Amino acid sequence: MDVIVGSESHLEQMEKLVSSWYKDGTLPESFIWPPDSRPGKLAAAPSCKNIPVIDLGGAEGGDHTYIIHQILEASQEFGFFQVINHGISDTLLSDTMSVLKEFFELPLEDKASVYSEDPQKSCKLFSSSVNYDAEDVHLWRDVLRHPCHPLVECLQDWPQQPSRYRELVGTCSTQVKKLALNVLELISEGLGLGTGYFRNELSQNLILSVNHYPPCPDPSLTLGLTKHCDPNLITILMQEDHVNGLQVFKDGEWMGVEPISHALVVNIGYQLHIISNGKLKSSEHRAVTNPCNARTSAGFFVAPSYVCVVEPARALVSASNPQLYKSFQYEEFLRNFNTMVFEGKSEFAMESFKLQT
Ligand code: OGA
Ligand code: NI
């Protein structure tokens, strides 16, 4: 009897997932954002072609210097770029996206074993930004989040359904990690930090966050994800074809990041901004919804280990370039970041790590 009661209340809790009820066609008040943060007409803004698309095909050969130049320029100007010819096969990307979409289409009962709103649980399907019961306004999304590294240690906690989930996401995450390390190597060279600067504790963790944004009756009033910068080192994001949603804030305007088939979006996280002593930019971005199509995106977050000490690279600090941030443990940064997100003040997440100059 206990078991049944327990599982009923677990299923009841799952009503917090937007995917469990959005088909009733309503936009509950608790999803309506205040006027200054809702997207309004910009929810339907067309995507923009300005964000650089970088061909990594020649990274090993003669184009090496040019590719580094493009990556550095995009990271300074936009904090965002897309990569093509990145070495991950089109088939693997398409199959992985399909299996992630299939996961969210499974009946609620099949997702129950991974559902949890417990912040301590590492692999989970959940609905909140930080704390569902305590937050004023909810996001129009469900998330599946779990670590991907070391693979053998985390694999057994991942969803067992769809049946190819572990195989595809395992292979894809291994290849994304390799790609991220290659991009970091190019950045390291571009910054003048030599080789292998990031190939250590700074890039030890890989977390996958699969965002699922169901179709929404009024995208002008709500958000899939509020304006934020990523707290980690660097993020590789896989977008679904043909469905807009990701927007970057640049020069006071929101720009849509065009979904390009088999391209991957790369963005600079706060840790890379700090290590570069402010040279590379972490840009604010958000996700908007649309009334027609569900949208799924997969963010692979490369992050330092929790105990890793992060600080501006010594080689980038000089009398004319004073150190802008203090050194700290990544865990401390993350704790502060999560508090700031919860309080709706994520744009101030860097304040307590800045040095007076
Ligand atoms: C994120 C993120 C954007 C998207 O998960 O941090 O910015 O398009 N996602 O889902
Ligand atoms: Ni983000």
Cis-peptide into 162, omega within 30 deg: yes
Which residues partner with 256 through β-bridges? 47, 247
Whether the CB of 214 sits within 6 Å of ligand 1: no
pLDDT range class, residue 133, cuts 50, 70, 90: confident
Is the full-model pTM beyond 0.85? yes
**CATH pick for 30-353 out of 3.20.20.10, 3.40.50.300, 3.90.320.10, 2.60.120.330:** 2.60.120.330
Nearest CA to ligand 1 atom 8: 246
pLDDT tens digits, 246-305: 999 999 999 999 999 999 999 999 999 999 999 999 999 999 999 999 999 999 999 999
pLDDT averaged over the chain? 94
- Cα–ligand 1 centroid distance for 233 (angstroms): 15
> Mean of the pLDDT values across residues 133-160?
94
Give the Cα separation of 239 and 257 in Å (integer). 10
Whether the CB of 211 sits within 6 Å of ligand 1: yes
Q: Where are the domains of the chain?
A: 30-353
Ligand 1 closest atom vs CA 257: 8
Give the Cα separation of 256 and 42 in Å (integer). 9
Nearest CA to ligand 1 atom 10: 297
